[in-house]
Chain A
Amino acid sequence: MLSKKQIFSKGILAVAPHMFSVIPFGIVCGAIGIELGFSPVLVYAMSIIIFGGASQIVFLQLLSGGASALIAVTSVGVINSRHLLYGAVLSEYLEKLSFIKKLLISYLVVDQGFAESNKFFQKNKNETHLHYHLLGSGGTLWVCWQISTLAGIILGSFVPEELGLKFAVPLTFIAIVVQDIKKLDHVIVMITCGLSSLLFFDAPFKSYIIISPIIALFVAALVLRLKK
């Protein structure tokens, strides 16, 4: 049985490598906000209030492009609706927590933290203090996101666009799923999701980001049925 501190440290270590993509992306995110002409306080406040990289950029781009606040808010909601899926997966491991603790820990769930903590949970189902892993991973991502968006706000236009730092985002997620390309069922699900996301890319409110996982999960259900 691992102690709380050990599991917390494992959570930190599990997401630490992802900083190579989170920090550049955070810097880009802060810099874009300033470039689009928003006030530094407002751009930074989003990192605390929304705390969701891609959705923060989309929100500011839509508003600066003249879209209504309703469209901007709806888009953030649609983009972040994938967290419903993460929550459904995590709930199995967080079941025993008190209601208040569930409310608090939910704020820290982001993509990379979910991915890495979920991997840990699957292998260590019998540990008692599982949620400390999520605190470690989510807390680390939170701190780094705050620092890097602030850095981007300060650096602003000094961030060279030619570097294409946003490309670090798909790379970090490749690192997360790449070991599953050994498994045919997972490959089918991944390709379904990927192709759907390209097909539905122009769907309103960036909804490709939730439409394609839903299609992929239906395909997963079919695959499961065929496997039996």
Chain B
Amino acid sequence: MTWLSIIIAGIITYFMRMTMVALVDRDLLGERVKAVLAYVPSAVFPAIIFPGIFINDYGTFIEMNDPKIFGAIVAILVGYFSRNVIATIISGLFSYWIIIFLL
């Protein structure tokens, strides 16, 4: 039963990936829709970023002094000025660990 569920979940996921690329003719989308689609990264990724910072493993809001907020601020600053992905991730993780383990 679990195996069947995984296979169905996999097929559904694959269809989500494939439908717009292979099945839908792009000419169906108007110019205005195409202009709005330019915002997709900015419109999707914060839905991964915000809960990843502000909501803990138990589905509740973190306190405002949570080390993840500090880590995220450091990562944003380092990322903005360095334009470097590795520096962004590492600085965020380390500043988070420093608070957890040292303070």
Contacts and interface: CB of A to CB of B under 8 A. Distances in A.
Interface of A: 17-18, 20-21, 38, 42, 45-46, 49-52, 54-55, 59, 63, 69, 72-73, 76-77, 80-92, 94-95, 99, 102-103, 105-107, 109, 111, 115, 118, 162-164, 166-181, 185-186, 189-198, 201-202, 208-209, 212-213, 216-217, 220-221, 224
B89 A171 contact: yes
Contacts, number: 264
Contact of B2 (A21, A69, A173): A69
Nearest to B4: A69
A86 B17 CA distance: 8
Contacts of B51: 197-198, 201, 208
Q: Chain A at the B interface: mostly helix, strand, loop or mixed?
A: helix
The 9 closest A-B pairs by CB, nearest first: A87-B20, A170-B52, A49-B10, A17-B85, A216-B43, A194-B46, A106-B18, A194-B50, A102-B22
B61 to A, nearest CB: 8
A96 to B, nearest CB: 11
Given A73-B9, A80-B12, A197-B47, A171 B72 contact: yes
25 contacts: A18-B85, A20-B85, A46-B6, A50-B6, A55-B13, A76-B9, A82-B44, A86-B17, A88-B24, A88-B40, A102-B18, A102-B21, A107-B14, A107-B17, A170-B49, A171-B71, A174-B79, A175-B89, A176-B41, A186-B39, A189-B39, A194-B46, A217-B40, A221-B32, A224-B35
A49 B49 contact: no
B45 to A, nearest CB: 4
A223 B17 CA distance: 28
* Size category of the binding interface on chain B: 35 or more
B100 interface: yes
Given A92-B34, A167-B71, A220-B36, A73 B5 contact: yes
B43 A189 contact: yes
**Most central of B6, B20, B44 by chain A CB within 10 Å:** B44
Contacts of B5: 59, 63, 69, 72-73
Contacts of B24: 87-88, 91
B44 A213 contact: yes
B20 A88 contact: yes
A95 B96 CA distance: 43
A174 B21 contact: no
